[in-house]
Amino acid sequence: MKVLNAALGFYFPSFFMAKINTKNRLDRGLEISEQITLLHEYVHFIDDISTTFGLINFCNTIDTLKVIIKKIYESKEMVCLPLVDSDLSVTHRENIELFSHYYGESKYESLYGNCKVVELVRKDIATKIQRNNFSSYELKINKGGVEEIFYRFGSICLSESLARIIERTFCSIPIEETSLPYDSAGLVVGKLYPSLAANTLNIASLCEVSLMTYNPGETFINSLIEMKKVSFNPASYSDIYNFVNDCFVFDGGLKIEDVYSESFATAVSQASDVFTVKELAHCSKLLIEYFEKARAIRTKSPLLITDLINGASIDQVNSNFLNLFSKVGLPFLYNDDGMCFVDARNESAKVVQFCHAIKAIFDIISSAKASCDMIEVCLKSDIDMKIDRNCHESPWRRSVDGSLCPVGVLWHSWSLDGKELAQRK
């Protein structure tokens, strides 16, 4: 098992941050490997801000943050982290389980070595917080012709498969070996409905339209099953979006556009909930602008990511990406030295630091991590930041320091001054 693309870079879902593993500046000429990595992570960023699943995942992350903050605020004693099931409501526990099925295999594991799908195993899931039961799927994988492994198929598989397709198209990279999750979508199509795989754009578009639903893995596989039943033969990759939208109705009789609109509205509300004081309203504004800009494009181009590689030449594909960069902007980009590079048109270093502080606090309170994720960033910041022992051992105590850092400001804004945390033993 290996960390997903971590040798080159990583994207942090729901926090709009990407790390490119290089000491080079990211605002100057990039090496080819760095360009490819940036491209890959940028696809994840667009997933995050413009698909239904990206938006509901953001909402789920903020809900989790709010649940833990409420627990800390209401406690009269030291709070032990991470929280255990008895600390959480039944609804929140079920929501955690629900999203584990939506995600599929662990966010941080990959499988290399010429993988082949031998069988798809369906599991029907019942929960109290969904009106209808749903299904999750496991792939029975033959690895290297010898080893058989079960691999859960979900949103991570589709997001990584879509990014890999974009990456290979842009760079004309040949397929030397198949790996998971990066080739999982293509392997499933090859198993269930091979004729659809004749055009890579078909696989990309089915990944993308599936990510426009609450349970992307189930949508992807059920769509292939229905396509095979009627011998569906798309004249264009855009026909796949129409097929899925016509074929499935979601809870409450909603269609794809409806669930996207609902998720967008909820995400906008959640972005406002994070930064609760008016002095930080500009941070909420930045996140909401990401959602709004992406929605404006997706409304006109329902397959906006797949559309990027629908070009007659690499030059055209390159032009498509540059056009998207100019309209939507970039995620918060970091290099190995902790230097952050932002879109100077509408983002200041201070805004980005507060957005990063949300992730730092989430890591601290959701996993009982002792040190702050922002130490290197603060050391490199243009804004004078004091680094002390609390940054390494108890970052929440920075809220009562004379010099407030972004983590301290947020902790103070949530009225958590004086609250103490401990790692659960």
256-312 pLDDT, tens per residue?
999 999 999 999 999 998 888 887 888 899 899 999 999 999 999 999 999 998 876
Q: What is the average pLDDT across 360-378?
A: 84
**pLDDT tens-digit map of 89-107:** 888 888 888 898 999 976 4
Q: What is the average pLDDT across 18-44?
A: 86
Helix (H, G, I), strand (E, B) or coil at 173: coil
Percent of the chain with pLDDT over 90: 45
pLDDT for 34 equals 85
Q: How many alpha carbons fall within 13 Å on the CB side of residue 372?
A: 29
Element (DSSP H or E) covering residue 188: helix 184-192
d(CA 50, CA 38): 18
**pLDDT tens-digit map of 40-79:** 999 999 999 999 999 999 999 999 999 999 999 999 889 8
d(CA 134, CA 212): 16
Cα-based torsion angle of the residue sequence 112, 113, 119, 122 in order, rounded to the nearest 10 degrees? -10
Least trusted range by pLDDT, from 131-140, 147-156, 184-193: 131-140
pLDDT for 2 equals 33
Q: How far is CA 141 from CA 112, 149, 200, 339, in A?
A: 11, 5, 22, 40
Q: How far is CA 50 from CA 138, 215, 392, in A?
A: 27, 16, 35
Q: What is the average pLDDT across 11-35?
A: 86
pLDDT for 353 equals 83
pLDDT for 159 equals 96
What is the value of pTM for the model shown? 0.92
- State which amino acid sits at residue 82: P
pLDDT band for position 423 (cuts 50, 70, 90): confident
Q: What is the average pLDDT across 224-228?
A: 96
Q: Of the ranges 217-226, 382-391, 393-402, which is most confident? A: 217-226
Q: Is 418 left (phi over 0), alpha (psi -120 to 50) or beta?
A: left
**Nearest residue to 269 via CA among 57, 48, 62:** 62
pLDDT for 250 equals 80
d(CA 358, CA 278): 16
More confident residue, 315 or 350: 315
Least trusted range by pLDDT, from 273-282, 350-359, 381-390: 381-390
Residues pairing with 250 in the sheet: 254
More confident residue, 243 or 422: 243
pLDDT for 184 equals 92
Q: Which residues lie below 8 Å from residue 365, measured CB to CB, with a gap of 6+?
A: 65, 68, 69, 72, 81, 82, 421
pLDDT for 44 equals 96
CB atoms closer than 10 angstroms to residue 310? 17
